[in-house]
């Protein structure tokens, strides 16, 4: 199986946005949701996955993450809503939460 990398956007009830990159989207989303790593997502209770892109190239994933992070909020919102207009949770958690 080829390497997989994900650029993702997570949010909270206030729609605070966090953009990241990972090689294991389900694990990373669960870590954010459980506040396993101290920092921005734990402090702002960011735990809902609302957008992601997949690539097999880590360099392009990191470049895309940096690109999205430079965008203004409204452009990020348009990106999310282009694929997830209802801001549904996209991660499936084993515990059903």
User: Residue ranges of the domains in the chain?
Assistant: 5-83
Tens digits of residue pLDDT in 1-20: 578 999 999 999 999 999 99
Model pTM? 0.92
pLDDT tens-digit readout, 37-90: 889 999 999 999 999 999 999 999 999 999 999 999 999 999 999 999 999 999
- Each residue of 25-37: pLDDT tens digit? 999 999 999 999 8
Topology of the domain covering 5-83: GIY-YIG endonuclease (3.40.1440)
DSSP string, 31-77: HHHTT-S-SHHHHTT--EEEEEEEES-HHHHHHHHHHHHHS-HHHHH
The 8-class DSSP code of residue 19 comes to E
């Amino acid at each position: 199986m080829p390497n997989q990398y994900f650029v993702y956007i997570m949010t909270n009830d206030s729609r605070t946005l966090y953009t990241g990159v990972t090689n294991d989207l389900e694990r990373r989303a669960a870590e954010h949701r459980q506040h396993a790593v101290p920092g921005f997502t734990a402090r702002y209770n960011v735990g809902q996955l609302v957008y992601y892109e997949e690539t097999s190239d880590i360099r392009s994933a990191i470049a895309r993450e940096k690109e999205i992070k430079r965008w203004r909020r409204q452009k990020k919102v348009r990106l999310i809503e282009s694929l997830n207009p209802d801001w549904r949770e996209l991660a499936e958690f084993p515990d059903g939460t």
